[in-house]
Amino acid sequence: MSDSKLWLIVPAAGIGQRMRAECPKQYLRIDNRFILDITLSRMLDSGLFAGCMVPLNSEDRWWPSSGASKDDRIQTCNGGAERADSVLSALTALAAQAGADDWVLVHDAARPCVHPADLANLVSTLATHPVGGLLAAPVADTLKKAKPNALPEVIGTVDRSQLWRAMTPQMFRYAKLVEALRRALNKGQSVTDESSAMEFSGNMPVLVEGRSDNIKITVPADLDLAGFILSRF
Ligand code: CTP
Ligand code: MG
């Protein structure tokens, strides 16, 4: 167990449709740095990883001007149509380097606010766990179920006591993650994170509580919010 290495995958092949910017959101700047550069340095500064693979969009023309492209700890490969395809492509690209029981941490390029203490806690909490897990935060708001009308109408209040928001990093063992993603993709199962793929294969990933400000930059307003969060630590 103790000789299990840790590998980092940062999927960055999305086009950021919901951000409606002139470039994919991972290449928007906070404090004059690409979001992708901030995310990668926050993760790699931990010194935890044996290597790092970043799947990129085949039409990406911004990567060469990133700081990360000059960092020899970082390798790149081609991403795919969905996030799960990009992650599987990165796992395949690591095949010759990673061992079956090694840990893989998958972390969204669009989550630059991940806190080093949460990363360290995730890794130490799961170090001897057979399956792995993910950073998550309990849902704080009251949740409403609604009819999808033009003006949505409430048809009920959902019990939130067992509900969590799934975040990244998500940490699983190399071979089991490859198998779970392949199975989900082959069965046409929609998997928006690695945990869903692991769950689909019958596993029960652990939720490790992390800070709720580990936001995924998704819409324009998130950019200022992330800038504020990053200015605080
Ligand atoms: N991602 C990826 N390959 C894809 C789609 C997404 O590597 N085919 C990555 C994104 O670059 C991002 C992460 O997965 O870092 C989370 O996805 P999301 O926030 O949905 O980003 P986008 O898909 O780019 O945004 P949108 O859904 O608004 O288009
Ligand atoms: Mg997306």
| 1 domain-assigned | no
Cβ of residue 21 lying under 6 Å from some atom of ligand 1: no
Q: What's the residue count for the chain?
A: 233
| 171 domain-assigned | yes
Distance 218 CA to ligand 1 centre (A): 9
Domains of the chain: total: 1
Write the residue with the smallest CA distance to atom 10 of ligand 1: 14
Q: How far apart are CA 178 and CA 171, in angstroms?
A: 12
Cβ of residue 86 lying under 6 Å from some atom of ligand 1: yes
Distance 49 CA to ligand 2 centre (A): 26
Q: How far apart are CA 21 and CA 221, in angstroms?
A: 12
| 174 domain-assigned | yes
- Among the bound ligands, name the one nearest to the CA of residue 39: 1
Sequence letter at residue 204:
M
- Among the bound ligands, name the one nearest to the CA of residue 18: 1
Cβ of residue 111 lying under 6 Å from some atom of ligand 1: no
User: Average pLDDT over the chain, rounded to whole?
Assistant: 97
Q: How far apart are CA 109 and CA 86, in angstroms?
A: 12
In angstroms, the first-to-last Cα distance of the chain is 33
Cα distances (Å, whole numbers) of residue 94 to 46, 63, 90, 174, 216: 20, 20, 6, 9, 25
Instruction: Quote the Cα angle for 56-61-66, to 5°.
Output: 75
Distance 2 CA to ligand 2 centre (A): 35
- Asked whether residue 2 carries a pLDDT value surpassing 70, the answer given is no
Query: Measured in whole angstroms, how far is the alpha carbon of residue 31 from the centre of its chain?
Result: 22
Mean pLDDT for 219-224 is 97
- Asked whether residue 1 carries a pLDDT value surpassing 70, the answer given is no
Write the residue with the smallest CA distance to atom 13 of ligand 1: 108
Q: What is the extent of the structural domain holding 144?
A: 6-232
- Asked whether residue 104 carries a pLDDT value surpassing 80, the answer given is yes
Cβ of residue 79 lying under 6 Å from some atom of ligand 1: yes
**What six digits make up the tokens of 50?**
């044996």
- Among the bound ligands, name the one nearest to the CA of residue 87: 1
Distance 231 CA to ligand 1 centre (A): 24
- Asked whether residue 26 carries a pLDDT value surpassing 80, the answer given is yes
* 206 confidence band (pLDDT: 50, 70, 90): very high
Question: For residue range 140-157, what is the model confidence (pLDDT) as tens digits?
Answer: 999 999 999 999 999 999
User: Among candidates 46, 175, 157, which has minimal Cα distance to 100?
Assistant: 175
What pLDDT score was predicted for residue 3? 80
Mean pLDDT for 196-207 is 98
Q: How far apart are CA 112 and CA 41, in angstroms?
A: 9
pTM of the model: 0.97
CATH number at residue 24: 3.90.550.10
